[in-house]
Structure 1
Amino acid sequence: MAESVGQRKRIGKRWVFAAVLLLLGLFVWWRHSGPEQQKHGAGGPAVGVARAVSGAMPVVLDELGTVTPITTVTVLPQISGYLTQVAFTEGQSVTAGQFLAQIDPRPYQIQLEQYEAALAKDNASLAQARSDLARYEKLASQDSISEQQVTDQQFLVRQEEAAAKTDQANIDSAKLNLVYCHITSPISGRVGLRLVDIGNYVTSGSSTGLAVITSISPTTVIFSVSQTDLAPVLTRLGQGAQLTATAYSSDDTTKLEDGTLSAVDSQIDTATGMVKLRADFPNSDNALFPNEFVNVHLLVNTLQNATLVPTQAVQNGAPGAYVYVVQPDDTVHVQPVTTGPTDGTNTVITKGVSPGDVVVTDGVDRLSDGMAVQVANTPAVASAGDPPAQPHHHHRHHNAAAAQ
């Protein structure tokens, strides 16, 4: 009897355990299936959508460039001598013709005086020779001397004239050397670090120089574009367009200055497939520093009345680029498309989608062709024409070697 009571208790415990497992399973099923059913309902998964619109799309090339000064000059001594004065400060801005340094002029002043003395002596000899020639010509007219004496005197006058010209050339050279003793800046720009100190003996054959002066304002930026992007640039230049180039900081976040494209190199680098371009910048606030790496945004063209969709709506797969288009019956259709330029936020669709079509932008990973969906956008359908939060550009060639 006691054994049957124990058996009944064990059976009762098994039923209780089975009931607990059943309740736990129902709870898990409710947690995973209930909300999903509420979410999907009869209309399928909820998706975010946007409406394709017609708008303008700037075609911008984003390239890495190097700030390249228009002029860089190494100030070299034209004569030899001891440096007696340095009149510039390292990093100073100078103007063309501004005094920079002085070489001891005394040896060249003495040389000038010697040449002037030689000229005075030769001028006296020349005056005597001319006086004798006049007398000989008068005597010759009276048949008092031979014609040969007159001819010889004429040659002597020419020799003295040549000697006087040589002396004058030496004087001019000595005066030029005195000018070279007073060293001035050949250009306007910024002086670099001093390369020679006062008291050093400098020579005209020195390659080091006294200082390096770099022009700052205006300046240029040299950058490279792919050969595939070159044709639109050349087309626009051939049409007489002035292409705007905007320089940004190396992290591509801070705008430095606006400029214009000024030149295209004459050949493509066969090693990289890139071609160099030069843009001019006024650099009035000195924001562009020589040899600085910058990002150049070159506005090549602006496409008008282009069909725009949000970039996240464009997918890539076996059929190539495609979008999910929401049909009037709230089903989606896989639509292959041909894409054009993009600014990171919107993408141009040249074929496959028309303005007004509604495309899926969020939840595409759960979709298949013909599936029913629910539009979850609130409060209204998003527009592909909405302005982006920050500018983006569709080409980037971070090739430091090509930018040089």
Structure 2
Amino acid sequence: MGSKFMKSLLVAVFSVFSFGVAMAEEGHEPAQHEAGATHEEKLDPGKIIIEHVTDAHDFHFMDIGGKAISIPLPVILYSEGKWHMFSSGNFHHGHEAHDGFFLVNDHYIQQMKAEGVDVSGLKNQQIIAVDAEGKPNASVQVYDFSMTKNVVQMLLASILLIVLMSSIAKKYAKNGPNKAPSGFQNAVEPVITFVRDEVAKPNLHGKYQRYLPFLLTVFFFILINNLFGLIPGSANVTGNLALTAVLALISFIVILFSTNKHFWGHVFWFPGVPVPVKLIMLPVELMGIFTKPFALMIRLFANMVAGHVIILSFIILIFIFGAMSKSLGYGTSPIFVGLAVFIYAIEVLVAFIQAFIFTNLTAVFIGQAFEHGDHHEGGHH
């Protein structure tokens, strides 16, 4: 009961703090760049949500008294034959240039537009070279190898995965089957058994042991990153399309290396089908090879982003109603916070489900890559 209360309290505090950070940034930037402005900037829910689900060069938690509470990350740039390494804190959240470089934000883009500067190639959180006046210097090419929060969190998750699984493997090597598992080993063993019995064996049959290490690595890597993304102030790594694309690409390569001549025979010249139909099926079958990893990429990305967007949307509704009437804002806040807590609890379940779905679909696609050969050799069609 106590853990449920703490979880509810955690998400409520996180939600309010997250919106507070966004509101502080919304009100802070104009004060920095437009001294003397008296108008109050309107609430932009879409902008706030996008800022919270995209990558950044620091872990930004909140603003207190106009001072940002954040963890700056290393900036690593290569430009004009030189390496530049410094802390992202030197940008002061996109308010100042450093060493001839600037961290682009929405206000900077708007300011450059107002001055008639072409900003078609600029995007939020991009590091660019600027001239002495602070305007984009298109003649200088910048290669960004910075450690963003997505990269840092992914590395931390990878290290955690290696450490935990190595310690469990050492226990198995030391004790063998003679001693019952204990501690974290006892919690992980049912999950490993589940992936083996419910994912690998049904889809890969006699070849499941060959692919089980890969499937377990994919499952636990996605699961750990999904759970990390639910920690207040962390990054939603699996909600980044680049990461899900790389995971899908790795699965795609494994699938291709698992194919045999029977698989390609069914793709290019489906047996037992009239020639006119074969010509129609050929582009469909070829497209199907690429739609499988594409489906893996989009499914994981969309599901992990959706939960964060819904939680932020509920919290933003409090301030939208509060802008109409303070009493309405206070009156509806328990409802929307309760809904946010409910979605947060579902997101914990979704973290496990999406890791399972990605792993299971990967096993299904691998099984389809070589099952035609097995059926042919066994005399089955």
TM-score, scaled relative to structure 1: 0.15
Structure ranking higher in helix proportion: 2
* Bigger RCO (CA 8 Å, 6+ sep): 1
Question: Which protein shows a greater Rg?
Answer: 1
